[in-house]
Amino acid sequence: MKFKVAILGTGNVAWHLAPALEEAGHTVTEVYGRDLSKVQQVTKRLYTTEAKTDLDFSDSEAEIFILAVSDQAISELADEVILPEDGILVHTSGAVSLDILGYSSASYTGIFYPLQTFSKDREINFEDVPFLLESEDGTTLQKLKKLAKSLSPMQYILKSKDRMALHIAAVFASNFSNHMLRLAEEIMARKGLDYEMLKPLIIETISKSLELGAKKAQTGPAIRSDFNTLDAHYQFLNYNAQVAEIYRLISQDIIDSY
């Protein structure tokens, strides 16, 4: 089943999702954004798509309208967008409830949340993207499931409340673990040490954690309650009070968790 889809947004999700939809055989009828040059950066990646800077979609041929914008922008765009009759309005956020689309003109609303980290500099294989879906309307949910299935083998139906918990877990698993690597990079750079030395450790850590579970995989001074080392590390980090506090707090939480 092929759909006509409009994309509202020009960020990282829109950037990757729009071409993926085309590749799966759907038609991307329009891409909307306030900034025409940003819209054109996305439409350049597509075959024939209208670049739009206004929110009147009353004449659109699309059936599904995907709000792929920042969480803060969802509510305003949902309230202002004018959809054709029977148009389905969905957003792609992990954090925002379905209710937020309740004041829109859409007859049907839903969630189409791709659980992955998207950066423009990095290709995404949508087969590795679980889609988290929600709608109060059964027919809409079936359509979203078909759309997701055309992109990825992983589709899950999830209520907004559970989706928020999932999103928080994803922040820890992705954004925060990446920030731990960032802090490691900075400590190495500060001493002129080659970050390459750490890469085998990082790869083994994550592989092990996914295989054994993080609890069983933990090593290091905190789980050994090695307070001499913890104290020496904390002292070393005193050039940055916030990073030292992060060190202290995570170490304490590891100590408390075992």
254 touches a second copy by CB under 8 A: yes
- Work out whether 58 is an interface residue with a second copy (CB under 8 A): no
Instruction: Decide if residue 245 touches a second copy (CB under 8 A).
Output: yes
Contact with a second copy (CB under 8 A): which of 14, 18, 151, 237? Answer: 237
> Distance between CA 248 and CA 148 in Å, rounded?
42
Per CB under 8 A, 154 contacts a second copy: yes
Tell me which of 22, 71, 79, 137 binds a second copy, using CB under 8 A.
71
- Please enumerate in sequence order all residues whose Cβ is within 8 A of that of 222, keeping only pairs 6 or more positions apart, or say none: 230, 250, 251, 252, 254, 255
Ranges within 88-147 binding a second copy (CB under 8 A): 95-96, 115-119, 121-122, 124, 128-130, 132
| CB nearer to a second copy: pick between 52 and 163 | 163
Q: How far is the CB of 234 from a second copy (least distance, A)?
A: 9
CB 8 within 8 A of CB 81: yes
Of residues 168-197, those binding a second copy (CB under 8 A): 168-185, 187-188, 190-191, 193, 197
- Provide the token pair at 174: 């992705």
Tokens linked to 226? 């090695």
CB-CB contact of 33 with 39 (8 Å) = yes
Q: Does 257 bind a second copy (CB under 8 A)?
A: yes
Q: Which of 72, 85, 138, 238 binds a second copy (CB under 8 A)?
A: 72
Which residues in the 4-33 window bind a second copy by CB under 8 A?
Answer: 12
Out of 59, 85, 99, 256, name the contact with a second copy by CB under 8 A. Answer: 256
Residues in contact with 105: Cβ distance below 8 Å, sequence separation at least 6, in sequence order: 81, 82, 83
Q: Which two tokens stand for residue 173?
A: 């698993």
Region from 27-35, 43-51, 66-74, 139-147 binding a second copy, contact rule CB under 8 A: 66-74
211 binds a second copy (CB under 8 A): yes
Choosing from 3, 15, 57, 247, the residue that interacts with a second copy (CB under 8 A) is 247
d(CA 31, CA 43): 7
Is the Cβ–Cβ distance between 28 and 49 less than 8 Å? yes
Residue 253 and residue 258: Cα distance in Å, rounded? Answer: 9
Residue 47 or 239 with smaller CB distance to a second copy:
239
d(CA 64, CA 110): 10
